[in-house]
Structure 1
Amino acid sequence: MADPAWTHRTAVVFIPPAEVWPPIQAIRHVHDRQVQRWMPHITLLYPFAPRHELPGLAPTLEAACAGLSPFEATLGTFQVFQHRADRSTVWLAPEPREAFVRLQAALQEAAPDYAHTSRFAGGFKPHLSVGQSGGTERVAELLASLSETWTPLVFQVSEVSIIAREGNGPFEVVRTLKLGASST
């Protein structure tokens, strides 16, 4: 049996409500080279299935989401992934972390061929990327600056989105999956 096909042109993500985007996007416009490609999001499954396979996967993902209750979340603190001595990613840590881990695990169980996001050391780490930075001294300055003026954002997590992009275009929502919703 062949390995399943996957692509970097689709993903399953949580997108915060639009009303909390302005402070996130203000940071991303300055620090995130991918601000035009991605909306603010927490990646749950990526890379994901080719676009033509999405209709077949959607019912299983929808059922997984229906079995989970919506929850309140907060983006309150900045953290960093240090990739190399001169390269890092700055991100907001969503809380409660455990609720996002449960959400990702349910989706991964529904689509086990797309487990890339949990293959990192320590497993799945929910995060909302806000930018890239250089070495440890530079990123420490950026973290201090961002943390000094940041006001935590609180919102409901009531849905996840399947997103896709064509060519080099930006990602767009192609389907929304409600948490706690019955399949219709």
Structure 2
Amino acid sequence: MAPRRLPLHLSYRCALALLPPAAITPPLEAVRRERDNYFAHWPPHINLLYPFLKSPSNWEPSEPQGDVRATPPFHVSLICDQPSVVSHHASRKTVWLEPTSRSIHQLQAALQAEFSECNADNWRYRPHLSVGEASSDDGAKKLSSEITKSVSDFLACSAERPLMLDWYVDKVYVMEREGYYDRFEIVGAIDLGQK
């Protein structure tokens, strides 16, 4: 499926995103490898701005300014015992993990204010980390069970406590890919807490 048309200054080849550290991605990648149609194109991530400005790898090191860099680092947890499902239509569902931190919303709002020209959508921002797609409600339930089990086995958790993957967010990653079907690579980072 071809991407929808964008204003000329934006690109589906560029994004600002949060990336979980490699130490917590094995249970995510085990499921994504088999169930995520976008596994070859994206690392596990939470998008903050996508699509983004063309050619962010050409930025000056001082960009961005203000509230974005002043945003303090924060902890985030992905809720893994109750994955969310969004239904695009009857035969296409996406299963994702939602983060607990409201700080992501504050960071995204600061980025949106800094890069107001990236506001091509009127969608309400809903942070999430996609783990895969399903073609039916039953398939989505099965995928939800798979990711819950994968994380539970990885953490060796008992059922009594909430099942979460935690990490410390201290930077926003600038992502870019060569072509629409290529894999996103890190081309820069914006450090948080730099007043």
Match of 2:193 among 177, 180, 183: 180
User: 1:171 is matched with which residue?
Assistant: 184
Superposed CA offset, 1:81-105 (max 9, x none):
1100110111111111x11111100
Structure-2 separation of matches of 1:13 and 1:52? 13
Matched-pair contact (CA < 8 Å) for 1:45–1:104: yes
In the alignment, the residues of structure 1 paired with residue 94 and residue 76 of structure 2 have an alpha-carbon distance, to the nearest angstrom, of 21
Deviations 1:55-91 (A, max 9, x none): 16x6343543321111111112311111001101111
Q: Deviations over 1:102-155 (max 9, x none)?
A: 1100000000011246x22xx100000111111222212322343345332111
Question: What letter is aligned with 1:21?
Answer: T
Aligned to 1:61: 64
> Which residue matches 2:9?
5
- Structure 2 residue identity aligned to 1:180: G
Cα RMSD, aligned residues only: 2.0
CA distance in 2, matches of 1:67, 1:149: 36
1:161 and 2:173 are equivalent in the alignment: yes
Q: Which amino acid aligns with 1:83?
A: H
Q: Where does 1:1-184 land on structure 2 (aligned, <5 Å)?
A: 5-51=9-55, 54-55=58-59, 59-77=62-80, 78-96=83-101, 98-116=102-120, 119-120=122-123, 123-151=124-152, 152-167=164-179, 168-182=181-195
Aligned residues, how many?
A: 175
The one-letter code sitting in structure 1 at the alignment partner of 2:119 is A
Which structure's residues are more often helix, by fraction? 1
Measure, in 1, the Cα distance between the counterparts of 2:116 and 2:57.
14
TM-score (norm 1): 0.86
Which residues of structure 1 form unaligned runs of 5+? none
CA distance in 1, matches of 2:78, 2:21: 12
Question: For residues 92 and 116 of structure 1, what CA distance do their matches in structure 2 show?
Answer: 25
Structure 1 segments (4+ residues) deviating >4 Å? none
Q: Offset of 1:24 from its aligned partner? A: 1.0
Separation of aligned partners in 1, 2:53 and 2:88: 26
Counterparts of 1:4 and 1:64, CA distance in 2: 26
The alpha-carbon distance between structure 1 residues 124 and 45, as it changes in their structure 2 partners (threshold 3 A), is same
User: Which ranges of structure 2 fall in alignment gaps of 5 or more residues?
Assistant: 1-6, 153-163
- Using a 3 Å threshold, how does the CA distance of structure 1 residues 144 and 134 change in structure 2: closer, same or farther? same
Q: Under a length normalisation based on structure 2, what TM-score does the superposition of the two structures give? A: 0.82
Percent identity between matched residues is 31
